[in-house]
């Protein structure tokens, strides 16, 4: 469906009024009731757009054999604008504009920075769910535990695709509690302190490894402050390689249930380790605290299924344990920083569509958009887009002047949806049009691995992408596909990453991550100049 056509009943879209684009990039107008004359106007304007490109109507309309004159083109555009603003009742038009909304400015805290690492990397927490008891899930407090790192990233996708899991609670997710460690592959942070021995537990023991005093490190201090603020009813910490379910505090039944449903062995506790999260939160604060240890050799997408089953059970049962003083949190303050996540719309199936912004909140347009195709949303494509996101959000550098936008799940109801409903299609194309990014990194499925260009791409960038381990291929834009609309109708540069079905490990995803981040960096540096 063309991006300028908006369904009559779009009450699911919310936040700020949609700007519908004329075929010429940058020209905006609001579209009221779709009447017969309105449909004819759209028909003419589409013809005008093709004529401007082909200089003849004959390509789309064989019965018109003469070249399009300037006055004909002008008449079509003027007629459309008159119809778009004048057809139908004025009151109905106002109602439509008010109810047809996409929220591109965050107004509720669904993601924010709760602190910074030693090196200055942002500590990101995201919220899934609007109300109910809060539960906290964190991974990668030890940066060298790669399965925990990757599973934390995969949890973002799982939670967006399985939104019924948190119908009655709020899930707060930290995918990298030790981002410096994840970048350098170290257990400790950059101060060489084990963050999981630096909490203010009664059994804290000062040392070079544990820290000279509790909460000495910015990562542990920020996490402790967040826990005190959230007052979670339960905490789940993801580790590896011991392959077991352990617990601290009043969490025995919860841990046994997770072990039973997932097949991961249950281990009775032997007492909290000095200064550990389990000792402080579980034993001292009496918050049910689970340690989920993944197996040592897990490195494939399919291998995470038992861990997801355990996590799903944890969320479901933990929210039933007790009530919390923070069933509904006022997090509006959290949207003004350099990172924000929020739900921009609701799909026809009732699923929230989540978008993230990494960069200055002063800019609501421009920058780079990284997204996955709604037509080919598979475990492989979402894995690649999450790897690109992880790389771009763990940079040690000033906040980009122009933002990076992320749409890592674009069809939340499905893992693969070749026939995207018209409302979701319109929502996504409208989001892209409103953001007006310099470029879009578009991840899609293909039988052949590679990358391709569509739209206005500079030769300098194309040359630098040809030596990163992926084969350059033809764009092959599907007729009226989203990527075609972005590249041809909206005239935005699109880097197409064609992900093959065999992508199953970090090593498989690495060439795509390199190409995607190089392209994003090019446009971020270009727009910052």
Q: Which residues contact 68 (CB under 8 A, 6 or more apart)?
A: 48, 51, 55, 56, 57
Cα gap 438→366, rounded to integer Å = 6
Q: Write the CA distances from 441 to 80, 309, 368, 369, 404, integer angstroms.
A: 32, 31, 8, 6, 11
Q: Using an 8 Å Cβ cutoff, are 101 and 59 in contact?
A: no
Residue given tokens 């909290």 in the structure block? 272
Instruction: Answer positive or negative: Cα dihedral of 214, 217, 218, 220.
Output: negative
Angle, alpha carbons 115-117-118 (nearest 5°):
135
Helix%, strand%, coil% for the chain, nearest 5: 35, 20, 45
CB 227 within 8 A of CB 235: yes
How does pLDDT run along the chain (529 residues), one tens digit per residue?
222 222 222 222 223 333 333 323 333 333 333 333 443 443 344 444 444 333 332 333 232 333 444 444 444 444 444 444 444 443 332 333 233 456 666 656 788 999 999 999 999 999 998 888 999 999 999 999 999 999 999 999 999 988 888 888 999 999 999 999 999 999 999 999 999 999 999 999 999 999 999 999 999 999 999 999 999 999 999 999 999 999 999 999 999 999 999 999 999 886 679 999 999 999 999 999 999 999 887 767 778 889 999 999 999 998 786 655 555 455 554 556 788 898 888 877 788 889 999 987 888 888 999 999 988 888 899 999 999 999 998 887 656 678 899 999 988 865 445 455 677 888 898 999 999 999 999 999 988 889 998 887 777 787 788 878 788 888 888 777 889 889 988 899 999 999 998 888 888 999 999 999 999 988 888 655 5
Contact 148, 240 (CB under 8 A): yes
Q: In the sheet that 234-239 helps form, which strands lie side by side, from edge to edge?
A: 111-116, 122-128, 170-174, 134-139, 234-239, 289-293, 244-248
Separation between Cα atoms, residue 9 and residue 442, nearest integer Å: 28
Six-digit token string for 299:
């490195």
E strand or H helix at 114, and its extent? strand 111-116
**Sign of the Cα pseudo-torsion (103, 108, 109, 112, in order):** positive
| Pairwise CA distance, residues 257 & 126, whole Å | 26
pTM: 0.79
For residue 179 the two structure tokens come to 């981002």
Are 249 and 281 in contact, with CB atoms under 8 Å apart?
yes
Contact 158, 176 (CB under 8 A): no
C-alpha distance from residue 11 to each of 17, 105, 160 (Å): 11, 18, 21
CA distance 378 to 414: 9
DSSP bridge pairs for 341: 356
- 3-state class of 444 per DSSP? strand
Cβ atoms of 129 and 363 within 8 Å: the answer is: no
Between CA 486 and CA 490, with CA 487 as vertex, the angle to 5 degrees is 55
Report how far residue 365's alpha carbon sits from residue 127's, in angstroms, rounded to the nearest whole number.
24
Check residue 472 and report its DSSP letter: B
Question: Does residue 77 contact residue 22 with C-beta atoms inside 8 Å?
Answer: yes
Phi, psi of 310 (to 5 degrees): -65, -40
Rg (CA), the chain: 25
- Please tell me the predicted confidence (pLDDT) of residue 79: 44
């Amino acid at each position: 469906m063309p991006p300028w056509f908006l369904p009559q009943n779009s009450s699911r879209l919310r936040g700020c009024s949609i700007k519908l684009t004329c075929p010429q990039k940058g020209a905006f107008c609001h579209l009221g009731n779709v009447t017969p004359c309105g449909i004819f106007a759209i028909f003419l304007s589409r013809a005008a757009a093709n004529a401007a490109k082909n200089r003849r109507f004959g390509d789309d309309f064989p019965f018109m054999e003469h070249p399009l004159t300037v006055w004909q083109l002008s008449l079509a555009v003027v007629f459309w604008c008159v119809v778009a603003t004048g057809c139908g009742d004025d009151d109905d038009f106002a109602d439509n504009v008010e109810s047809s909304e996409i929220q591109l400015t965050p107004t509720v805290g669904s993601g924010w920075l709760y602190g910074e690492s030693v090196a200055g990397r942002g500590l990101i927490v995201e919220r899934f769910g609007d109300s109910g008891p809060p539960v906290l899930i964190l991974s990668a407090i030890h940066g060298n535990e790669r399965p925990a790192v990757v599973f934390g990233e995969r949890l973002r996708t799982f939670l967006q695709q399985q939104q019924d899991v948190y119908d009655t609670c709020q899930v707060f997710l930290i995918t990298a509690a030790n981002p410096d460690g994840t970048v350098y592959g170290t257990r400790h942070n950059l101060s060489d302190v084990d963050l999981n021995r630096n909490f203010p537990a009664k059994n804290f023991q000062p040392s070079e490894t544990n820290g000279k005093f509790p909460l000495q490190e910015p990562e542990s201090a920020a996490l402790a402050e967040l826990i005190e603020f959230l007052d979670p009813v339960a905490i789940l910490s993801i580790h590896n390689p011991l392959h077991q379910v352990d617990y601290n505090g009043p969490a025995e039944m919860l841990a046994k249930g997770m072990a039973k449903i997932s097949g991961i062995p249950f281990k009775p506790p032997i007492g909290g380790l000095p200064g550990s999260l389990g000792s402080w939160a579980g034993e001292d604060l009496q918050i049910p605290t689970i340690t989920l240890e993944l197996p040592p050799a897990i490195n494939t997408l399919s291998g995470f299924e038992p861990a997801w089953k355990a996590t799903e059970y944890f969320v479901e049962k933990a929210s039933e344990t007790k009530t919390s003083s923070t069933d509904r949190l006022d997090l509006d303050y959290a949207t003004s920083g350099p990172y924000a996540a929020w739900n921009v719309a609701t799909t026809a199936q009732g699923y929230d569509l989540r978008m993230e912004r990494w960069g200055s909140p002063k800019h609501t347009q421009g920058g780079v958009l990284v997204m996955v195709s709604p037509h080919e949303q598979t475990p492989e494509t979402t894995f690649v887009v999450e790897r690109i996101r992880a790389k771009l959000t763990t940079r040690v550098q000033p906040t980009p002047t122009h933002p990076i936008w992320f749409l890592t799940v674009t069809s939340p109801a499905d893992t693969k949806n070749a026939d995207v409903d018209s409302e979701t299609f319109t929502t996504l194309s409208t989001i892209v049009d409103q953001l007006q990014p310099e470029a879009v990194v578009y991840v899609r499925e293909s039988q052949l691995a590679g990358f391709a260009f569509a739209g206005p791409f500079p030769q300098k960038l194309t040359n630098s992408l040809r030596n990163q381990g992926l084969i350059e291929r033809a764009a092959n834009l599907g007729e009226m596909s989203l990527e075609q609309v972005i590249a041809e109708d909206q005239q935005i540069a699109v880097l197409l990453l064609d992900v093959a079905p065999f992508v199953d490990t970090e090593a498989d995803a690495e060439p795509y991550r390199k190409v995607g981040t190089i392209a994003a960096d090019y446009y971020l540096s270009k727009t910052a100049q």
